[in-house]
């Protein structure tokens, strides 16, 4: 199905964007009654009304609008500049009843222009959709242009590309399999899986997801247990409480290391939901992202979760919850510093802040807690 959207219809999907622009205008940081400059070399350019510009939902990244980038660019420039923006690539229509053009690229620039009250914009008509073109052929043509211009120059995220593949009916067999597995587990990721309304968890990217749901050769593949695990997690975690990497690491821990150990699962749930010292919520984003071994993000997330869980357990119950056996398979692919970190925390009882891999000379003045 072909879904055509005006610029205003896209803006209506981003209420926070409009209000943020108004705040910049009120602070005299943004001009919103037209462009800052004239269209350069206008006599040699194709100029159209912004009201005539459309975007195809099945091609464009309408659900992944980078609002922060739009606001930052507008504030830095002070408004919309034709010179900085350049021309927007569009496709015309041989069918005279279609008095608009559609653009497979340039949505963010069009939004910036419209938000600043710009009435006309320069475009480059790449081609014309023939009168006989079906909806799917129109989607395919503009998607090919989108892919050629963006994917090969690495401008489009994996998540946005996968969304485009699904909406345009171009999913690979692996993508179709992942789509079904996510739907069965009631997970929603950028058009994949179940609907947002029925999702137990909504994630903002596919980071590490295939390792848990799809890749049977992965050490983290959770197989048939994953659906039960996701349902279990949903009873005490909110839909958007975790990053994709954290979600995958926690679901792996519940499915495999603790899969047959009900006592450990209950304790880990307590660690996740407790407000006490060393519980999950006491760690900031840096704990999950700093000094992660290259290409081993999932392994690092699992290790840090288990180490943090053990530190919490030791604080609450004065004993270790786990031993080195829970780490051995993962540590086989990790560097020696990571092994020392785990041994420091689990075997030597050294607090996480002081353990080798996460400590810095610059942190000497920070509170160091030994457990």
* Per-residue pLDDT tens digits for 137-151: 999 999 889 888 765
- Position 155 scores a pLDDT of 54
pLDDT of residue 370: 32
Structure-model confidence comparison of residues 64 and 98, the more confident one: 98
Helix (H) or strand (E) holding 340, with range, is: helix 336-346
Is a pLDDT exceeding 60 seen at residue 77? yes
Contact 120, 49 (CB under 8 A): yes
**Helix or strand run (H / E) with residue 25:** helix 15-26
The model's pTM = 0.60
Q: Phi first, then psi: give them for residue 211, nearest 5 degrees.
A: -65, -35
SS3 53: strand
Q: Which of 56-70, 221-235, 314-328 has the lowest mean pLDDT?
A: 56-70
Long-range pairs for 288-294 at CB < 8 Å and ≥24 separation? Answer: 288/243, 288/245, 288/246, 290/358, 291/357, 291/358, 293/334, 293/335, 293/338
pLDDT-derived band of residue 88, with 50, 70 and 90 as boundaries?
very high
Which H or E run includes 295?
none
Number of H helices, E strands in the chain: 16, 9
CB atoms within 10 A of CB 328: 11
φ, ψ of residue 346 in degrees (nearest 5): -90, -45
Cβ atoms 15, 122 nearer than 8 A = no
Query: What's the mean pLDDT when you consider all of the chain?
Result: 88
Q: Cα–Cα distances in Å, from 147 out to 107, 127, 164, 316, 345?
A: 15, 16, 9, 53, 47
Q: 370 or 88: which carries more pLDDT confidence? A: 88
Give, in degrees to the nearest 5, the angle at Cα 26 between 23 and 28: 115
CB 271 within 8 A of CB 279: yes
Q: How far apart are CA 140 and CA 207, in angstroms?
A: 27
Q: What are the boundaries of each domain within the chain?
A: 4-167, 205-363
**Is the pLDDT assigned to residue 363 strictly greater than 70?**
no
C-beta separation of 84 from 77 below 8 A: yes
């Amino acid at each position: 199905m072909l879904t055509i959207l005006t610029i205003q219809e896209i803006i209506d999907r981003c209420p926070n964007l409009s209000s943020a622009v108004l705040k910049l205008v009120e602070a005299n940081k943004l001009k919103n009654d037209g462009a800052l400059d004239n269209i350069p070399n206008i006599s040699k350019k194709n100029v159209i009304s912004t009201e005539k510009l459309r975007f195809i939902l099945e091609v464009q990244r309408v659900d992944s609008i980078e609002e922060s980038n739009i606001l930052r660019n507008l504030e830095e420039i002070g408004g919309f500049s034709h010179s900085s923006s350049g021309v927007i690539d569009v496709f015309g229509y041989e069918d005279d009843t279609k008095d608009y053009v559609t653009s497979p690229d340039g949505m963010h620039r069009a939004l910036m222009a419209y938000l600043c009250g710009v009435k006309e914009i320069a475009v480059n008509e790449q081609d014309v959709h023939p009168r006989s073109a079906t909806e799917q052929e129109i989607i395919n043509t503009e998607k090919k242009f989108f892919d050629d211009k963006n994917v090969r120059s690495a401008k489009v995220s994996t998540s946005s590309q996968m969304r485009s593949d699904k909406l345009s009916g171009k999913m690979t067999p692996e993508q179709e399999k992942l789509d079904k597995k996510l739907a069965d587990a009631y997970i929603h990721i950028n058009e994949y899986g179940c609907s947002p309304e029925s999702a137990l968890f909504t994630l903002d990217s596919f980071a590490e997801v295939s390792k848990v749901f799809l890749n049977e050769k992965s050490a983290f593949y959770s197989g048939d247990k994953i659906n039960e695990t996701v349902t279990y997690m949903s009873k005490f975690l909110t839909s958007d409480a975790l990053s994709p990497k954290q979600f995958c690491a926690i679901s792996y821990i519940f499915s495999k290391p603790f899969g047959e150990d009900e006592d450990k699962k209950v304790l880990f749930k307590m660690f996740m939901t407790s407000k006490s010292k060393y519980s999950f919520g006491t760690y900031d984003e840096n704990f999950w992202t700093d000094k992660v071994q290259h290409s081993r993000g999932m392994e690092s997330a699992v290790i840090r979760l288990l180490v943090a869980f053990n530190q919490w357990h030791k604080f609450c119950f004065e004993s270790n919850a786990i031993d080195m056996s829970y780490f051995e398979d993962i540590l086989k692919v990790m560097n020696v510093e990571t092994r020392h970190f785990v041994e420091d925390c689990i075997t030597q009882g050294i607090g996480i802040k002081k353990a080798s891999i996460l400590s810095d000379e610059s942190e000497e003045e920070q509170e160091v807690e030994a457990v």
